[in-house]
Structure 1
Amino acid sequence: MELTFYVASAIAILATIMVITNYNMIHALLYLVVSFLAVAVVFFTLGAPFMAALEVIIYAGAIVVLIIFVIMMLNLTNEDVQQEKTWLRPKTWIGPALLSLVLLAELAYLVIAEDMPTINNQPVDAREVGLALYGPYLLGVQLCGMLLMAGIVGAYHLGRQKKKVVHRFLERSEI
């Protein structure tokens, strides 16, 4: 379990650095999804499977939807389509794919391992979920919220169009 925690943490840090340093927004968002998945594995190894599930469902899912909206906001021309075809080369997606495979292997190890954290099969009340999220996991919720806000601000700045200045010359006709 401890080794899994450290490997997932290293992947989260590496993927987050790639998000910050990558110039291509689509590649950066793919690395952000990998970072969210790594943080979910970290939460799972710490004995918080519910928070791990929330991390994957809400945050990684929301980023995938954000990718779709960013692509829809951009006006794609034939040149853009050709450039996107060059992005499908293995050198583009091999990094996120390898990091995701390592996380998948860790998750498979955790599920197969005998020292897996015990999980209650009793129904959980909504009040208990709220107390758990905003109690011991408050820092995790706030950090994930800040990551989402950064994604929203980035999408806004990338998607907004610059204002077009229209100069109108009014002719005065003298009567």
Structure 2
Amino acid sequence: MPFLLSALVAVWATFMVVTRAVAIHALLYLVVALLALACVFDVLGAPFAAILEVIVYAGAIMVLFVFVVMMLNLGRPDRLRENSWIAPRGWIGPGLLAALLLAALADALVVAAPDGGPIAVIDTRQVGLALYGPYVLMVELASFLLLAGLVSAFRIGRHIRGEDAP
């Protein structure tokens, strides 16, 4: 049950990310989707992958996304934009999905393994060997891709606001 509930929350939150017009609302749903994915990892017996999901994606990457949104500062004055972010209608959906995740997590903590057997745990050594062994090039390419996206977003934002120097 926790797996199904977490998976449904992840799918619904991801759908909401794609369909939101306001970037901050989409980011709120993205945080919920990433937390739901971490719950799925935990239920599947990969607590280390779940913790990495929360720390790296729901933490660091989301800070980067919020930084880019703040840096672009497109359009309306700050006070009007901040009032729209604080509006309850922007927080109701992510709040409800987060409450569902909390219920699934509480249920997962109470229920033991379905078959009663031990759950295989992935440790840090296995993850490190996988990431920096055969996939070291992919990890480095992903970091360059994130940097290129940040620079592109900054350049596009400056162009839209008319601050580009000829």
Counterparts of residues 77-96 of structure 1 (less than 5 Å) = 79-96=77-94
Structure 2 residue identity aligned to 1:81: R
Counterparts of residues 15-54 of structure 1 (less than 5 Å) = 15-54=13-52
- Decide which structure has greater helix share: 2
2:164: which partner in 1? 164
Which stretch shifts more, 71-80 or 28-37? Answer: 71-80
Cα 1:128–1:67 change in 2 (3 A) is: closer
Q: How far, CA to CA, are the matches of 1:120 and 1:131 in structure 2?
A: 17
1:169: which partner in 2? none
Q: How far, CA to CA, are the matches of 2:48 and 2:71 in structure 1?
A: 33
**Unaligned runs of at least 5 residues, structure 1:** 167-175
Higher relative contact order (CA 8 A, sep 6+): 2
Residues 33 and 63, structure 1, Cα contact 8 Å, conserved in 2:
no
SS in 1 for 2:77: helix
Structure 2 residue identity aligned to 1:164: D
Cα 1:103–1:134 change in 2 (3 A) is: farther
Residues 18 and 31, structure 1, Cα contact 8 Å, conserved in 2:
yes
Q: How far, CA to CA, are the matches of 2:82 and 2:34 in structure 1?
A: 24
Q: How far, CA to CA, are the matches of 1:6 and 1:156 in structure 2?
A: 38
SS in 2 for 1:62: helix
Q: How far, CA to CA, are the matches of 1:6 and 1:150 in structure 2?
A: 31
RMSD: 3.5
* TM-score between the two structures when normalised by the length of structure 2: 0.72
Cα displacement (A) at 1:42: 0.7
* TM-score between the two structures when normalised by the length of structure 1: 0.68
Residues 13 and 32, structure 2, Cα contact 8 Å, conserved in 1:
yes
Cα 1:28–1:90 change in 2 (3 A) is: same
Q: How far, CA to CA, are the matches of 1:37 and 1:12 in structure 2?
A: 8
Q: How far, CA to CA, are the matches of 1:119 and 1:110 in structure 2?
A: 13
Q: Percent identity?
A: 46
Q: How far, CA to CA, are the matches of 2:45 and 2:63 in structure 1?
A: 28
Matched, 1:56 2:51: no
Structure 1 residue identity aligned to 2:154: G
Q: In the TM superposition, what whole-angstrom CA distance separates every residue of 1:36-82 from its partner, at most 9, and x where no partner exists?
A: 11111111111111111110111100233124412541348982322
Residues 12 and 36, structure 1, Cα contact 8 Å, conserved in 2:
yes
Residues 9 and 97, structure 2, Cα contact 8 Å, conserved in 1:
yes
Tell me how many residue pairs correspond in the alignment. 151
